[in-house]
Structure 1
């Protein structure tokens, strides 16, 4: 049994669903994981009511209230022509949550992204490295980070990358679908990052939520261990499917242009996470095997 109660905006999405399922399995005293239709984080009044209700329910039960924000506008390419809406969700939404959490003395964990960095590094990004987003999505996520950190709330920003899971659409599911449809595929081989299983990230966030005293560093990175390219990731997915990975060939970013430029290198260092006494997320390849063992049918759909 955990000693905290949770509100998880974005609770019907890929990460939110894993957070709520794992928290309930661990015996959390109270878990409310609304989807965006139930709790729109851009609605300040609705957010204030939800956080106030969490604080009251938790403290009446002798529990610590915690908000883990898994709600986000994640359509990276669409954000290039829809930045105003992306900013509402990724910037104004976290600001609303942080203000309510500050008012009611509720801990806030806010999930962010590798896209706040320029993507031109040659070694893993540390939380303190200079941010310089090159996309609308990255700019809006950075605005959300700053709103949270400037709010006065007891809050932590946790950046992650290349997330996949059993709920919703993601790269792993796309590769599984294409494996069944095509004899050969080409996948970008000159973009490098850290594939992250949403369940592993959820466990890490719940470990942070359970800390009676949070780490002093307020920006942390939690992503799958190691690094690979999208090409390497795709080959690993084929291996888990029992398919021949040589059916996949690498291509360059220039061969596959997208409206939003993708970072060439967005590996996130977990050093600060581990120095804070938190359990590192497992190596990405090990996690992928575990994800297929647990959710193979969902990942193939």
Structure 2
């Protein structure tokens, strides 16, 4: 049995569609209470734990960094420590926001971290705690998660296209949209391999390909959905937000392929499936 924290999130929903999964939501596991999360793992005694839960309100985290750090930092650390006690693998989803978001080269696992906002700092705290927990673990950094569930860029663009025919969209933030379906599949494959070979424990990157700007991504969404929307490209400085957003979310995923045989997912194909799930027809 695989125990999954975050059953109602984008990745959690996809995980629950696969295999022998027990999903936990806020009612069963409150990440603001890290010790209770650890106790839940001990009580279930699963074969593997996957943490797909997080404090993901990036702007709100600027004003509530303490809670974000408990949820994204202290709770995953406590989970990993419980997994170490039980000698079971722990798979944790992290983010490219742990880097400074500058430059043009894809981020490598070994690059120096330097988060520029509260969300990134809270996620880095979690990574550090997991690394020091003594557990067999995989930290899977990803970016631009998309699916037919929850709140994400695809659903936002479709909603906005229903009330207007022109949008201004940032064009200088570059990254790889990553379907939650593919992240879920990757987590399960990584978990299985960690059970067989704990030496693969470590930090990895997993994002969609090819890299694209938000503006070009929006253009492809509207193209596949057959919606005629005029896009005006703007720089990030013209779209101010409370939290600093990375300009460079490109990720080097070669180590993930070498260790686990996982290819970067083609986000265009993933987008087709998402639109099908949402019953958006061209």
- TM-score by length of structure 1 reads 0.89
Which of the numbers 15, 18, 43 marks the counterpart of 2:14? 18
> 2:39: which partner in 1?
49
Shift in Å at residue 289 of structure 1? Answer: 1.7
> 1:181: which partner in 2?
163
> 2:236: which partner in 1?
253
Partner SS for 1:182: coil
Which of the numbers 79, 99, 112 marks the counterpart of 1:97? 79
Contact 1:8–1:67 (CA<8 Å) still a contact in 2? yes
> 1:40: which partner in 2?
30
Contact 2:189–2:260 (CA<8 Å) still a contact in 1? no
> 2:216: which partner in 1?
232
Contact 2:80–2:90 (CA<8 Å) still a contact in 1? yes
Contact 2:80–2:130 (CA<8 Å) still a contact in 1? yes
| Whole-Å separation in 1 of the counterparts to 2:115 and 2:96 | 9
Q: Does 1:220 align with 2:169?
A: no
Partner SS for 2:157: helix
Partner SS for 2:233: strand
Q: Does 1:127 align with 2:109?
A: yes
Could you list the runs of 4 or more consecutive aligned residues of structure 1 that deviate by over 4 angstroms after TM superposition? none
Deviation by residue 1:89-124 (Cα, 9 ceiling, x = unmatched): 001111110111111112100110010010112111
Shift in Å at residue 215 of structure 1? Answer: 5.4
Which of the numbers 240, 251, 256 marks the counterpart of 1:268? 251
> 1:74: which partner in 2?
56
| Whole-Å separation in 2 of the counterparts to 1:187 and 1:126 | 27
Partner SS for 1:33: strand
Contact 2:32–2:67 (CA<8 Å) still a contact in 1? no
Contact 1:135–1:261 (CA<8 Å) still a contact in 2? yes
Change (3 A) 1:45 1:83: closer
What is the count of residue pairs matched by the alignment? 279
Deviation by residue 1:182-206 (Cα, 9 ceiling, x = unmatched): 1210100011011001001111111
Change (3 A) 1:248 1:137: same
| Whole-Å separation in 1 of the counterparts to 2:201 and 2:3 | 23
Contact 1:227–1:284 (CA<8 Å) still a contact in 2? no
Contact 1:42–1:96 (CA<8 Å) still a contact in 2? no
| Whole-Å separation in 2 of the counterparts to 1:230 and 1:152 | 38
- TM-score by length of structure 2 reads 0.95
| Whole-Å separation in 1 of the counterparts to 2:161 and 2:86 | 49
Shift in Å at residue 34 of structure 1? Answer: 1.0
Alpha-carbon RMSD across the aligned residues, in angstroms, is 1.5
Q: Unmatched 5+ residue regions in structure 2?
A: none
Shift in Å at residue 232 of structure 1? Answer: 0.7
Shift in Å at residue 11 of structure 1? Answer: 1.1
Q: Unmatched 5+ residue regions in structure 1?
A: 59-64
